[in-house]
Amino acid sequence: MNPLLFDIDESTEPDWPVGPLLSDRMSVLCLKAEYVGNANPNFMQGIDSLKTRAMRRFDAFAEMATASSGASSSHYASSYCRLEDKIQMSKSELMAIGYSDVAIDAFWETFVDYLAAMETRSHAELVQDFQTEGGESEYLVWYMRLLTAGYMKKNAETFQPFIDGLYPGQTVEPMGKECDQPQIAALTEALQVGVKIEYLDGSAGPGEDLQSYVCSPTVESTTQQEPVSITLLYRPGHYDILYPRESEEKEAE
Could you report the per-residue pLDDT of 114-168, keeping only the tens digit for each? 999 988 888 888 888 888 887 888 899 899 999 999 999 999 888 887 777 677 8
Percent pLDDT > 70 in the chain is 75
User: Rounded to whole angstroms, how far apart are CA atoms 207 and 49?
Assistant: 9
Longest dimension (CA), the chain: 54
pLDDT tens, residue by residue, 5-47: 344 444 445 554 455 667 788 889 999 999 999 999 999 999 9
Range among 15-29, 31-45, 52-66, 226-240 rated most confident: 31-45
* Distance from chain centroid for Cα 39: 30
Following CA atoms 74, 76, 77, 83 in sequence, which dihedral angle do they give, to the nearest 10 degrees?
150
Confidence (pLDDT) at 243: 83
Domains in the chain with CATH codes: 26-252 (1.20.1300.20)
- In sign, the C-alpha dihedral spanning 134, 139, 145, 146 is positive
Sorted by sequence, the CB contacts under 8 Å of residue 40 that are 6+ apart come out as 202
pTM for the model stands at 0.77
Radius of gyration of the chain (CA): 18
Confidence of residue 74 (pLDDT cuts 50, 70, 90): very low
What band does 169 get if pLDDT is binned at 50, 70 and 90?
A: confident
Given a contact cutoff of 8 angstroms between Cβ atoms, the answer to whether 14 and 174 are in contact is: yes
Q: Are 160 and 103 in contact (CB under 8 A)?
A: no
**pLDDT of the residue at 228:** 81
pLDDT, average across residues 71-86: 63
pLDDT of residue 182: 87
| Cα 11 from Cα 86, distance rounded (Å) | 33
Looking at residue 223, its pLDDT comes to 62
Extended beta strands in 5-138, E state: 26-27, 54-57
Residue burial 52-84, b: 16+ Cβ < 10 Å; e: rest: ebbbbbbbbbbbbbbbbbbbeeebbeebeebbb
Among 10-19, 62-71, 102-111, the range with the most confident prediction by mean pLDDT is 102-111
